[in-house]
A = this chain, B = another copy of it.
Amino acid sequence: MSNSESSKLMSMSQAVRLHVSDGATVVIEGFTHLISFAAGHEIIRQKRRDLTLCRLTPDLVYEQMIAAGCARKLVFSWAGNPGAGPLYALRRAVEQGIPHPLELEEYSHFGMVVRFQAGAAKLPFLPLRTFSGSDLPRVNPAIREIECPYTGERLPTVPALNPDVAILHVQRADRFGNCQVWGLLGVQKEAAFASARVIVVAEEIVDEAVIRADPNRTLLPGFIVSAVVHEPWGCHPSFAQGFYDRDNDAYVAWREISQDAAKLNLWLDEWVYGVADRAEYVRKMGDRLTRLRAKEQLSAPVNYGY
C-alpha cells in the first residue's frame, strides 16, 4: 500500500484506460444506490471485451454492457430490472446467445455478499447458512461444504471473490481517494477491499478536511484507491442519496427498449456512443435530471472533540 500526496484525480476515460483491461474481472457495485452508470458507459465506449462482470444485481448497467458485447461471463445473484420487470437483453444472451453466449455463475445475495467479504479478508472462503435444500449448489459447483471443527455439522461455503478492479460511486471524495457514503451501503466496502484496484467515482470532490471532520462516515481510505473521477450525476438513472432521486421512468422505459435488440442498439448509439463523456450525457438529459434533484433533509452534527 502507498499513500502518496500526489492527486489521483483523472477523467473517467483515463481511469478506464488505465485500470480496466480486456478479459478483466470487474465489479461495479451499489445496491440500487450509487451505481456508476458513467463507468459502465465509458467501458462500452472503449469497447472492452471478454469481461467477467460481478455484481449482486446486474441491473440496467450490466445489461447495457452485455448488449454492447463487453461481457464473457456474469457472476450475480439477481438479474432483473428492479421494480420494472425482466432484463430482456440479458435473457437474449442467455437464452439465444445474442450478441454472443454469456456464461453465468449464480449465487444468492447472501452468497455474493459473503464472497466479497471473504475476498476483502483475503480468506479463500467463508461459511454461511443458505443453499441447503435449494437446487443452486447442483448448478454451481463453487458452492461447497465443510464440517465444523466444533459441532461437526456440515456448513455451506462460498469461495472468495477478488476482482481485478472495483468501480464505486460515492457522494464525496478528496483527490487522494478518501471517500464517504451515506444512505444504503450495500457491499461496496467489501468489494473495494477485495479488489486489486479501486476506482472511486464521486459526485463531489471535497477538501481532505471535509473527510477528516467526520471520520465515521468514511467508506475507504485513499491508500487503497487507484483513481478518483469527478462525475456529477454519474449514477443516473440510479440515485445518490442527498443529491438526486432514482429516475424510475427511465427504468420503466428501459423495459420496452431492451425487449427489442434494434431499439437497444439505437439507444446505445444515442446515449453511449453518441456522447463523448458523462458531461455530454448530462447536458443532453437537461431538465430531465434537474427535476430529480434531492430536497434538503440535513442530519444533525455530532461532537468529535475531547
A155 contact set on B, CB distance < 8 A: 123-124
A239 contact set on B, CB distance < 8 A: 306
B305 touches A295 (CB 8 A): yes
B213 touches A299 (CB 8 A): yes
Q: Does A153 contact B (CB under 8 A)?
A: yes
Using CB atoms, name the residue of chain B closest to A147. B146
> Taking the full assembly, how many copies of this chain does it contain?
2
A214 contact set on B, CB distance < 8 A: 299-300, 302
A149 touches B145 (CB 8 A): yes
A297 contact set on B, CB distance < 8 A: 303-305
State the Cβ distance, A158 to closest chain B Cβ, in Å. Answer: 9
Using CB atoms, name the residue of chain B closest to A300. B213
State the Cβ distance, A199 to closest chain B Cβ, in Å. Answer: 23
Segment of A1-9, A81-89, A125-133, A275-283 engaged in the interface with chain B? A125-133
A123 contact set on B, CB distance < 8 A: 127-129, 155
Greatest chain B CB density within 10 A among A123, A241, A295, A306 is at A306
Q: Does A157 contact B (CB under 8 A)?
A: yes
Q: Does A18 contact B (CB under 8 A)?
A: no
B171 touches A148 (CB 8 A): no
Closest 3 CB pairs of A and B: A242-B303, A297-B305, A214-B299
